[in-house]
Amino acid sequence: MREAPVTRLAAAIESLVRAHRAATPPPRGLPYLGLERASGTGFHLLDALAARGIFRKYESVLDLGAGSGGSSRWLAARLGCDVVGTTESLAEAEAGQTLTRRARLSAQVRLVPASAAALPFRGAHFTHVWILEALPREQEPLAALREAYRVLRRGGTLAIQDLVHAEPGSAPELSGWTFSTSAERVAALERLGFVELALRERTADAAERSAQVLAARDRLLARLRRDPYCAHLVRERETLAAALAAGTLRVVQIVARRP
């Protein structure tokens, strides 16, 4: 049976980084150099999101729409918390869990296939909910935000990094992605009952800064282009990169609290 594209992507990332690691160790918190993220925005942006939440080793974080788990591993390695990440499919969860095991973070990170619109967790279970560039991929983003509110403890922190379109009609056409505006996101959060909302524009400093990471991304993209089963992944990464470079997509961060 043919491997799913997400499985092939994870294998390509692991192989590339294994060869790279022999010469240069990866940065702390990025065992796979952040290659998992489709947009290519830098993981340095996450430090600002983490500043609003108080993280301790016993904190429990839900990473909504975690994909193959790059952000979940960052949270665990950098902040010492326990993380549950949701994925779109079992194949994505298994591929991400393989990467997590090889990064020796399985004790802190668990990836599970789950619909963001109907999470399989009891209410008020998590101290933090993170949603990193995942809302545009959700068929029901409002339902996902409503579920985030439900599973977040009172006083808990919601941290969002979102890709939004700059003006009506400016968003790129990309299968499986629907982009919103930052104003629409904030209005939805207010309607759901979140308080202390803070919006920050991060487009100007969103680009990756590390030459090591940029070189690895170029090698990964070249490898994916040679795999016909990864054509959609290549198109996704190239389209997002072009839109961010052109300014038709913006990067914003939103932090809020459940009262």
Taking only the tens place, the pLDDT of each residue in 132-169 is 999 999 999 999 999 999 999 999 999 999 999 987 77
Rounded average pLDDT over 113-128: 96
pLDDT-above-70 percentage for the chain: 96
Q: Looking at residue 23, what DSSP letter applies?
A: T
> How many structural domains is the chain composed of?
1
Q: Has residue 179 got a pLDDT over 80?
A: yes
Least confident range of 123-127, 163-167, 247-251: 163-167
User: What average pLDDT is seen over the chain?
Assistant: 92
Confidence of residue 28 (pLDDT cuts 50, 70, 90): confident
- Position 1 scores a pLDDT of 41
Q: Are strands 195-201 and 249-257 parallel, antiparallel or unpaired?
A: antiparallel
C-alpha to C-alpha distance for 234 and 237, rounded to whole angstroms: 5
Region 55-79 average pLDDT: 89
Range of the domain at 204: 5-257
End-to-end CA distance of the chain: 48
Cα 176–chain centre separation: 15
Over range 231-236, report the average pLDDT.
94
Bridge partners of 195, per DSSP, are 257
d(CA 211, CA 218): 11
More confident residue, 27 or 88: 88
Long-range contacts of 24-32 (CB under 8 A, 24+ apart): 24/212, 27/210, 27/212, 27/213, 28/77, 28/78, 29/73, 29/74, 29/77, 29/78, 30/70, 30/73, 30/74, 30/213, 31/73, 31/77, 31/99, 31/102, 31/103, 31/105, 32/70, 32/73, 32/99, 32/103
- Read off the CATH number of the domain in which 65 is found: 3.40.50.150
Coil, helix or strand for 95? helix
Contacts of 15 (CB under 8 A, 6+ apart): none
